[in-house]
Amino acid sequence: MSKENKIGLFESFSNAATRFTGSSPAFILAAAIVVAWAVSGPIFNYSETWQLVINTGTTIITFLMVFLIQKAQNKDSKAIQLKLNELIAAHEKASNRMVDIEDLTEEELDQFHQFYVALAQLAKNESDIHQSHSIDVAKKLHRRKVMKIAQALSDEMKSSKDC
């Protein structure tokens, strides 16, 4: 069996297990096992072995589920990142700096966060709440707006002096 077939088999099993464990039948099965275990308590005189059965079973299942859940989350996260990258790459006004940033260090991500804090501050000053643009464009638009306001004030002051 080639490596690709092994990966395919594990991937298939993982996907099926993920779908099943997140389903109502899986919950019902788990609840039924717990009820059956509890009901069997008097039969086994609530012995240590009886307690060990549920403890061991739940520990093993929990241990395996941690890896299954992590695999599913990694796959979902990668798919979401790829979708976001596609949206960024497809939009002509979006900053391509944002593509594939999930591999940056925490410090680099914090720097991007600060840029978006600045963008949010600039957006608060926008009259059109639906305006959306990159930080670079936002800064240019903000500078233009400030220049227009300064020019308008200058023109107003000149016209008031002429009167």
CA–CA distances in Å: residue 80 to residues 85, 100, 102, 114: 9, 11, 11, 23
Domain count, the chain: 2
Residues 79 and 12 in one domain: yes
Q: State the DSSP code for 128.
A: -
| Same domain for 26 and 88 | yes
Q: Are 113 and 50 within one domain?
A: no
Predicted local distance difference test score (pLDDT) of residue 154: 84
| Domain of residue 57, residue span | 1-97
Q: Compute mean pLDDT per 10 residues along the chain, 163 residues long, and list them.
A: 64 91 96 97 96 96 95 92 88 79 89 85 69 65 77 81 70
How is residue 30 written in tokens? 């788990």
Same structural domain for residues 72 and 130? Answer: no
Question: Is 130 found in the same domain as 109?
Answer: yes
| 13, 35: one domain | yes
Quote the CA–CA distance of 126 and 146 in Å, as a whole number.
Answer: 11
Alpha carbons 118 and 138: distance in angstroms, whole number: 9
- Give the integer Cα–Cα distance in Å for 150 and 162: 18
- Asked whether residue 47 falls in the same domain as residue 72, the answer is yes
Residue keyed to tokens 């060990």: 52
